[in-house]
Structure formats: C-alpha cells, structure tokens
Structure 1
C-alpha cells in the first residue's frame, strides 16, 4: 500500500467517516430526536461529498449529494428519524462504501436506494426490498430476453471453511441451461504464500437461458452478500433490458465480450484510529507492516541488551557496566513506546458489531438491546485483527441460539427485548472479553445427546458441567435442528476455539438454564514482549509472566511427604493449591533444600508453583513454539536468554486451571 497515494488517503479517511456515520445512525435509531446525532451524520456526509469531488470520485459525490439532500429534511425537522429511515440510510452507507472501494466498477442499485430514501422522508410507505444481489422482476418489467449470458463469480474468502463446494454450485447452474465453464486462475498466488483454505479460483460461466437472474439468485442464496458476482448479456439486448439492469444488484461488466474486471476486495483489518479529542494533536499514518518490523527489531535489541548485561555482570570494567545499564534503560523505554504504538482500544473492534446485531435483530424478528462496556481496554493490534471472526460467531450464536423469541420470553416472564452484552476488562496479565445474553442458556442434556450421537463421548463417560460445555467447540458440533444462513453446520464455534488457542488464550463457558449464557475469552495483553520472572527447576530455566505473579513465599518444611505433587498452602487465611513443577516436568535431579513458591493468578483462580530458585526479572521476547509442540499445554512459548540459551515460558492460565481442577476433585471427594 502506497500511503502517499492521495486516493488511498481519501479511502482511509472515508472509511473512518463511514464508521462514524454508521455508529451515529444506530445511535439515532435509539434516540430519534437527538439533534447532535443528526448533525454529526450530516457533517460526515458533507465531508465525504467534498473530499470525493476533490479526489475524482464523481459517482460518490453525486450519490452523497442526493443522500444529503434527502437527509437534510430530517435535520430541518421536516421528517422524523424513523426505523425505516435508518434502515435505508444504512443501505445508502453501504452503497457509498462500495463506490469508494471499487471506483472502476459499475455499482448498481443507487437509484433504488435514493428513491426509497426520498419516499421515507416524505412519509410515503416503502415496500421492503430483500437484500438480494438479483432484483426480482415483476411481469410488468419483463423485456425481451437474451439467450446467452456470461456469469463471473469469485467466492468469499471463508467459503471453503464453511463447507461451500464450488463444483456443487456449478452443477446447480447447469440445471438452469446449457453452460460452458472456464476457470479463472489469474488470482492464484505463489505457492509459498498460498492459503489452501481460501478459494483462489474464480469461475466464468456462459449460460444459455431466458433471463437466468432469479435462478442464479437461488443458487447463491447464502453467499451473495460477501462474494463478487457479475452477470452480462453476451448478445446485445434491447435498451430497456440494459436500463433495467440499473435496478439489480448484479454489476454489469464494461464490455460484453470480456469477463468483468473485478478487483479483489481488501481484507478487513482493524483500523488504528488517531485520537481526535485534542484539537492540537496530530497523527501520522503508518502501514501496519512497518510496526511489525519495528517490533521485531526491538525484540532483537532486547535480546542483545540482555546478553550485554550478562557480560557486564561478569566483568570488573566500570565503564562497561555503566554502558550496559544505560542501554538497558534506553531499550526498556523503546520497548514500552513501541508496545504502546501497537496497543489499540478494543472499542475499535466493538463498534463493528452494533450493525451486526441491528441486522440480525431485523432478520430474526427478535428485539435486542446490545450493550458494550470496556471499550477503552487496550489490546495488541494483532489480537484485535484476529478477534473479529470469533466474536462474530459468538454474537451470532447468542442472538440465534441463546435469545428466545419475544413470545417465548413473555411466556417465561422476561422482557420482550433480549439483551446481548459485550464487555472487556483487564484481569491480571490478561484481558477478559465476554459475550453474554439473557436467553434460555445451554441445554446440557441436548449437548450430551449430540456428543454421544457424534461419538465424541460414550454414554458411560462422566463429565463435569465445564467439560460438557467445552464440547460445543468440537469440529462439526451443532445442536441446531436445521441448517440456516446463520448457523447449523457446526463450524462457527470450532473457528472460535482454534483462533483463541492460536492466540494462547482460553475460553470459559458459564450458563444458567433460563437465565442466559456467558462466553469469556481470556487473552494475553500482547504477543510480543513481556516482563518475566526467570526461575530454575532442576537444571532448567523457565520464565513466568511477571504480570501474573502475585507474590513469592518459601515452601514450609515437612510438606514433601504429603499428597504427592499437589497440596494446599495457607496464604494469610486463604487456601491456595500448589504444583511441584519438578514433578509436573518429570525432573529427577536432586531438589534444593529451600524451595520457593511463586503464587500466580489467572482470572479468579490462583495456584502456587514450586521452583528450586528464583533467578530474577528480565524482559522476555516471546517466540512461538512449533506445531510439533502444540500439544504441550504447560508452555505458551519460549525466549532467548542473554547467554543464548532458551527458556520456556510457562502458560499460567493452564497451570492455574490444573490447580483449580485439583481443588474441585478434592472438594468433590470430601463431599462423597
């Protein structure tokens, strides 16, 4: 991406303005009489119009001008900001986005949206139009058909992950009429960067049929919102037929003899927004790749500085010690500054889901109150980018499976409007992100029955509630009675699990029948550099994330013969389970006479880790373990020490969970 390209600069600014416009419209739906929200939306439109005309986006400027003219009646109090108006305005916002991202494509449908917008502000009833890429034609609209049509399509990037088979789609197209199929391979990347889960091949299909638009609409029913699709008559059609295409959502190609030149849509990335609260503040846009490269360089500097400090500690040269201390101070400051640049408020991610819930509410007919808290919580930008898909799946599951219909809620004595809450809070060395609803809760019996049907467990298998709830994340697991456009294939929760595992996080499930369900994602603050406590167990050295450490105590004598490997410590009146890392790691070297216990926490749980020696604190550059070691749950990564040796980084969340499971088993044993 060339950041100095003026058109790209306009696109970036327009994306931010469109995000503000969408947020303002959604707020306006809840507070229709708020003049500040109306003026804010109007200012965003006016800025996009002026900038679009300046940078040559004529189609954008013309469409926004008409949008602005209609919306001006709301600003002047001549029309109310009704739910119907907000719905059409959101469609108009989406159309502006398409015009900006694809200035060379023929984007249709704008005239229909503007016509609906004028009718709404003038108080004329508007028939809702289904969000179909192919508009249905009434008998009055029938025109002379063309016998030969060219269909060009590229599937969404997640189509294969969700089980879409392109060959089956081609078979369905063949049922419309005789077809000639050509594979479009010009987008296939080099082998070293090819992602096998992303469809790289497009398809050009020549169809002989009398107006196949409705049939094509049925074929791509569940894919049309996010795929590239164009339909072009190859034989010249009457003028009326060509004009009619203006009212469809299929983009016609510039020339009938060539496939539509459709650019690959850019991948959705979390946009780092500059602070605008302070008028005097200025910002500089920097490509994310440069930040990643800077972080790598800082990591190497931290490793080199640690090596220098170790050499200086063994030397009697005062000047060398002084330089090492100064370099340590500078590298620490540079590390904190670089980390701060990478940290992004999670509110930039939360804002996307308001539109998602708004659309799901209308599609499913469930009134929903969507609440977000903790938007100011900061997380590494890499985490923000990779959290979008898991949160989409969790929110859709809450809305589709969790919340009941208004009738069922009324019968259960609940308010007709359901509630979905998205929150983020700091929790020690982690950030806890929760998606909760006040729906019916998880049905344990149904989950178990489905798990037995899928042979994930046997009828004799004994599971705790927590273990049973974790089964919903198994690949292909779904309790849905039928497959819909939202759910039912058992893919979504599997995606959530794999993504969170890849981020070294954990998922907790809490549910109460009839009251709702809460899914909590616990994630480390960063994936790059952390402060660590270096400890020794036997002859090996290990790093514990310092932010997870609460305190260090000495292991009392006389406990060696009790409850092999696990026991409890009395920490100021509170019982804390402890794990002997020597036994966890299978170390046979002689133990130290005076062992230490490092108390660590994760979420609400605590556990003591018994080590032979606490060496000290250091800056830890996290290196990911290879896939060969992915099954080793006690470690979250590795780091290079100053002497060039490797120290494994302990996964405190996993160790705390192990200690807590011991507590549960101990208490259950006593109860029995």
Structure 2
C-alpha cells in the first residue's frame, strides 16, 4: 500500500525550489548581467507557480506569478536586473515560504506590501506587476511583442503517457497558449484505448492548436520549457517553412531547452525508453530521515549482538563458530560503514543558508560584506548538520556585528572597505572542524576581562591563560557590546553555542588578534551514532575513550607514579604533558596496578594524559544517551553496552582535556 502524501512531497520539492531561487538571486548580486542565473530564477519561479496551482496552493501560485512576470521582463530585456529588484524578490521569496507552510492563512496584507515593493523595483510598470490584484487571483500579464504584426502558427504536440504522474498538467499548458493570443484547440482522441485497457493515470490524447499571436516563436516554445525534452512537438508558421520536429529521449532537466533538428526516432528505439527512464529515475531515492534513524538503531543493536558473539566465539574451542563470528563481524562492519555514509550530507547544505543571512545583515548594518566558503563537500552526519544551524547563525551574526567595522573605519585602519567572513570545513580523523573567521577588529581582551570581573565570573587578580580568557565570551549573559542592537548585545546566544557544541561532544577553539580579526573553530564528531573507541579498565569499571582523540599510549611505573605526586606531568619528547589519575577522579577506592598505562588524548593543540589500570583494546561503540539522572555528569558523554551485557561509560574528551589544562595552569601559578 502506498502511503506517500503528494502534498508533503510537493512541499518538500517546493522548499528545494525556493532554495534554488534564492541561490540564483544571490549569485545575481555579483553579476547583474548573468543570463544563465536570470533564466534559472525565472524557471524556478515558473515551476513553483505551476506546481502550486496544480496542488491547490492558489495564494502561492498567484503571488509567485507576479515575481515570475517581473523576471520575465528582465529575461526579455524589457527591464534591467537591479539590486533593488533582487532584494524585492528575495523578500518575496521569504513570503513564498510562508504561503507554502500556511496556504490557507491570511497573507493578503503582506502580499500587497511586497508586490508594491516589487512594482517599484521594476519601474512601476502596471502591466508587469499588478500590485492591487487580490492575492488569490492570478492576473494575466500582457505579453510584450517582439513584432508588431500578428503571426499564425500551427502546433501539434503530445506529452509522454506518464506526464500527469510526474506533475505536468496539460490544461495548464493549454491555458498558457490561450494567454498568448487567439487560440483554437482540438483534442485528438483516436488513440484512446478501450475501457478495459485504459489506464486513468496516463495521457492518451494529443492536441492540434491554431494560434494567432504577436508573440515570437521562442515564447511559444517557452510554454513547454519544462517538458520539452520528453514530448513530441511540431511547430510551424502557417504558409512558411516546414515544421520543426521536437522529440527527445532524455528525462526533463531544469535548463534552457534547445530544439534539435533531427527528425523523430524510429519506433523501435522507443521500446527501450521506459526501461532506461526507470533506471535513471531510480538513481536517487528520497528517504525520510526517520527511517534512516530507525535503520541506524537496528545497525547499532546488530553491532552489540556481534560483539557478544565475538566474545563467546573467542572463549570457545569450536573453529566453525569462530569462522562464522569473523564473517558476521566483517559484514556488520561493512553494514555499519554503509549506513554511516547514507546519513552523511555535505556541509554545503548548511553553508548555503548563510549567503542570504549575510546579504540581509549587510543591508541592515550598512556594511560591505563578502562571504567566502570553503570545503563545502566535507560530509557530516545529518543530525549534526541540523543541530549546527543555530550555533553557526549566532557566530556569523556576531562576526558581522561585533567583528567587522563599517567601511569608513576599515579605510581609516588601512583595510579594504569590504569586510570578509570566511566559513570553512575540513575533516581531521573522525572529526570535522568548522571555522568562522573574519578580518575585523578582533576581541578586546581588556574589555572581556573587565566585563567578566563586573559579572563576578573571575576575581580581579585571577591569572588566566589567553584561551581561558577568550572562552569567557561563551558564559551566559556575557556581552561586550556597548549597546543592544537587533543583532546582538543581550548576552544571549554564545552560551547557547557552547551548550550545543558540548552536547554534540565537540569543542570550541578561539583565536583573535586586535585589528586583524577573530577565528572560532568548532570541532565536531562526524557522527553521533557509532564510533570506534579504546576500551580501558579503571579499578573494576570499564570505560571507552573515543579513538579519534587518542594520540598514543605509555606505561607508567610505580616509581614514576610516586615521583610525579604533587606534579602530575610526564615528559613526552621534551614536552611536559599533564595527566589525570582516573582512579582518583572516579574515586574507585582500589589500589593502583603495578604497571599503569597513560593514554594521551588531545583536542586540537591541547593534550592531556589519562592514567588507567589496563588497556583492553579497540571497541565498536554504539552510543547510548545517559539517563536524566546522570545527564549532568561532565566527565561522560554517553554509555555503551559491551558484548557481555555490561555497561561502559564513554569519557568526555573535551571536558577531561580542559580539566587537565586547568590543573596545569594551577600548578604553574603555584610554582
């Protein structure tokens, strides 16, 4: 049984179309004469209007029609593409999103306001954008003639049998032809099969159209711009040259349709067309994220069961059981890797949102801002991308409001008037590092310290490292802004950033130079579901350290342990590395082993050693959330189930590294 909701599918595809329109508009801001982008925006608006009308989103179709008409004038050279027009359509694009989400809401007042702005942007031509038209009525725009005399055309066309299934409404195409001039339409019904063989989902009718219009040939073809590659069409001017035949064998794509000169292919070639099209259509499948989450849960349970089987096989003498266990281990590992890839998405889907944000903030602040993105193909778990959106918005807004100077101040400081915000992503091991960098004024450390002392966060004489001082900007209620603006200054946002990143088991690094700008790096795990871990024992308990954070393992003898009492440092290639005795941190109440081990972990440039009793080995770790009772325990980020059914806690690397560095700072201050 098919439970697919066509309205839900339309909303998803319409949202994607709106993103395409937005991207095209933003690209146009850097080159107003880019014909390819002008055509792309027009086609996006045309598609959205037609699809919205077909699925009953009349307000959306009507409103989008006016924007389409405005860009149609630009496309034909009747009006220039201007920054004002792009801004007006960008504002309208946000309203289209509201019309999509609440199609039956009262949007008339906002529609009128935006259409008035659009009318002013295109020069006030009443025929271009009828601002006073009701939001629910599509006004038929007058077509600009390229020639003053009317011409007679004869058009014969047939659509693929599955056109209606794919969302094409033949009646909409015929209505567009009627809008071009005097139109006489004849439906050719001789190919309709008997009632027993009739499939009501398919089109069995083709049409002959006589059209008298001032519109040029290109405008008639534009009616079929989105089905041109799949349909058969004969178009000729009555009494003039022979007909040009259009017959395509490729699926429709969003692009400027070209009319090939070749004649129709033999009927034999059409026999393989449905199979080839079906193969191409199956190349990409839209799957709800919830189903992927359910599959990942099942894969996680399989990994746990496989771990238990491996443990049982390892203690058994049956070689056949061991062989099966190894095979299942290999298959479950491959299934896990495949599942992880399915959940991965490029960060381009995240970065693309900030082009519009930067464009709007530039208008609001009066600053010249250039957004540069790098590493968009870097892939991260979809859940991570969804949860990173809000933190990145706060960081980009702060870079623009606090960091970048206005053009006059930048010129006075010897900088170019246009400020730069640089968004980049790259993968390091099993982490993704997302960096937000600006070339603004930088963070004033004296102001940060004064504000922290005023808020009681630190004591006036308290010694802090540069990183500890910069990390104060993430404290709740902290802000160095001199006045509250629409963008920032209330001390809300940066603390949310830190909480979100820590909830993702990530870390934040801050760098800043006065007059040169600031850089904030977010270190995020690739996935939140399954990780490779190092299983260790402390006392009688087992713990998992994320393998991506492990640098090396050392042995700590009893003599070295006693010698380092009071100064918990080890010498590692001429560098002192602080270490934490987990046995004392977790208060196990057990005596140390004769030969303890030190696991050196790191986040970025910071390193710390963890003293454990035994290193058991690597372990595929299925991450389980902590209970509400233990959710605030800072040393752990989650738990996992071992093969024997026992629970092992997953250590929070970022918290332990921070604790070790704090311990080092205290010892250095005391010494």
Do Structure 1 and Structure 2 share a fold, with TM-score over 0.5? yes
Q: For 2:561, what is the secondary structure of its paired residue?
A: coil
**In the alignment, which residue of structure 1 is the partner of 2:485?**
484
How far residue 574 of structure 1 moved from its aligned partner, in angstroms, is 6.3
CA distance in 2, matches of 1:661, 1:79: 64
**In the alignment, which residue of structure 2 is the partner of 1:566?**
568
Which moved further from structure 2: 306-315 or 610-619? 610-619
How far residue 504 of structure 1 moved from its aligned partner, in angstroms, is 2.0
CA distance in 2, matches of 1:292, 1:668: 49
Matched, 1:35 2:29: no
**In the alignment, which residue of structure 2 is the partner of 1:166?**
none
How far residue 307 of structure 1 moved from its aligned partner, in angstroms, is 1.4
Which moved further from structure 2: 4-13 or 374-383? 374-383
CA distance in 2, matches of 1:605, 1:493: 22
Q: For 1:360, what is the secondary structure of its paired residue?
A: helix
Matched, 1:96 2:118: no
Matched, 1:589 2:590: yes
- The equivalences for 1:253-402 within 5 A come to 282-402=283-403
CA distance in 1, matches of 2:607, 2:282: 43
Q: Is the 8 A contact 1:428 1:602 kept in 2?
A: no
- The equivalences for 1:498-647 within 5 A come to 498-555=499-556, 558-564=559-565, 566-571=568-573, 576-647=577-648
CA distance in 1, matches of 2:462, 2:601: 32
**In the alignment, which residue of structure 1 is the partner of 2:25?**
25
**In the alignment, which residue of structure 2 is the partner of 1:107?**
107
Q: Is the 8 A contact 1:38 1:74 kept in 2?
A: yes
CA distance in 1, matches of 2:115, 2:643: 65
Q: Is the 8 A contact 2:60 2:99 kept in 1?
A: yes
Aligned residues: 518
Deviations 1:551-589 (A, max 9, x none): 444447853333226223434x76655444444444453
Q: For 1:560, what is the secondary structure of its paired residue?
A: helix
Q: For 1:517, what is the secondary structure of its paired residue?
A: strand
Which moved further from structure 2: 382-391 or 104-113? 104-113
CA distance in 1, matches of 2:542, 2:7: 53
Q: Is the 8 A contact 1:569 1:576 kept in 2?
A: yes
**In the alignment, which residue of structure 2 is the partner of 1:6?**
6
CA distance in 2, matches of 1:327, 1:477: 53
Q: For 2:437, what is the secondary structure of its paired residue?
A: strand
- The equivalences for 1:44-63 within 5 A come to 44-63=44-63
Q: Is the 8 A contact 2:531 2:621 kept in 1?
A: yes
**Against the structure 1 CA distance between its residues 540 and 669, is the aligned structure 2 distance closer, same or farther, given a 3 Å change threshold?**
same
Q: For 2:619, what is the secondary structure of its paired residue?
A: strand
Please give the TM-score of this superposition, normalised by the length of structure 1: 0.71
CA distance in 1, matches of 2:659, 2:435: 22
**In the alignment, which residue of structure 1 is the partner of 2:498?**
497
Which moved further from structure 2: 3-12 or 475-484? 475-484
How far residue 8 of structure 1 moved from its aligned partner, in angstroms, is 1.4
How far residue 16 of structure 1 moved from its aligned partner, in angstroms, is 0.5
Q: Is the 8 A contact 1:472 1:493 kept in 2?
A: yes
**In the alignment, which residue of structure 2 is the partner of 1:145?**
none
Q: Is the 8 A contact 1:29 1:81 kept in 2?
A: no
**Against the structure 1 CA distance between its residues 123 and 515, is the aligned structure 2 distance closer, same or farther, given a 3 Å change threshold?**
farther
CA RMSD, 1 decimal:
2.9
Please give the TM-score of this superposition, normalised by the length of structure 2: 0.71
**Against the structure 1 CA distance between its residues 456 and 614, is the aligned structure 2 distance closer, same or farther, given a 3 Å change threshold?**
closer
How far residue 10 of structure 1 moved from its aligned partner, in angstroms, is 1.0
CA distance in 2, matches of 1:84, 1:501: 42
Deviations 1:232-285 (A, max 9, x none): xxxxxxxxxxxxxxxxxxxxxxxxxxxxxxxxxxxxxxxxxxxx9997763222
CA distance in 2, matches of 1:17, 1:637: 39
Q: For 2:296, what is the secondary structure of its paired residue?
A: helix
How far residue 593 of structure 1 moved from its aligned partner, in angstroms, is 3.7
Q: Is the 8 A contact 1:595 1:613 kept in 2?
A: yes
CA distance in 1, matches of 2:599, 2:509: 24
**In the alignment, which residue of structure 1 is the partner of 2:131?**
none
Q: Is the 8 A contact 2:569 2:576 kept in 1?
A: no
How far residue 366 of structure 1 moved from its aligned partner, in angstroms, is 0.8
Q: For 2:560, what is the secondary structure of its paired residue?
A: coil
CA distance in 1, matches of 2:657, 2:584: 16
Q: For structure 2, which runs of at least 5 residues remain unmatched after alignment?
A: 126-253, 256-278
Q: For 2:433, what is the secondary structure of its paired residue?
A: strand
How far residue 112 of structure 1 moved from its aligned partner, in angstroms, is 4.1
Deviations 1:93-137 (A, max 9, x none): 12222222221123223344344434433488xxxxxxxxxxxxx
CA distance in 1, matches of 2:548, 2:663: 24
Deviations 1:406-456 (A, max 9, x none): 122122111111111122222333222222211111222222222222222
Deviations 1:450-492 (A, max 9, x none): 2222222332333233222222222222222332222222111
Which moved further from structure 2: 490-499 or 454-463? 454-463
How far residue 326 of structure 1 moved from its aligned partner, in angstroms, is 2.5
Q: For 2:515, what is the secondary structure of its paired residue?
A: coil
Q: Whose RCO is larger (CA < 8 A, sep 6+)?
A: 1
Q: For 2:562, what is the secondary structure of its paired residue?
A: coil
How far residue 495 of structure 1 moved from its aligned partner, in angstroms, is 1.7
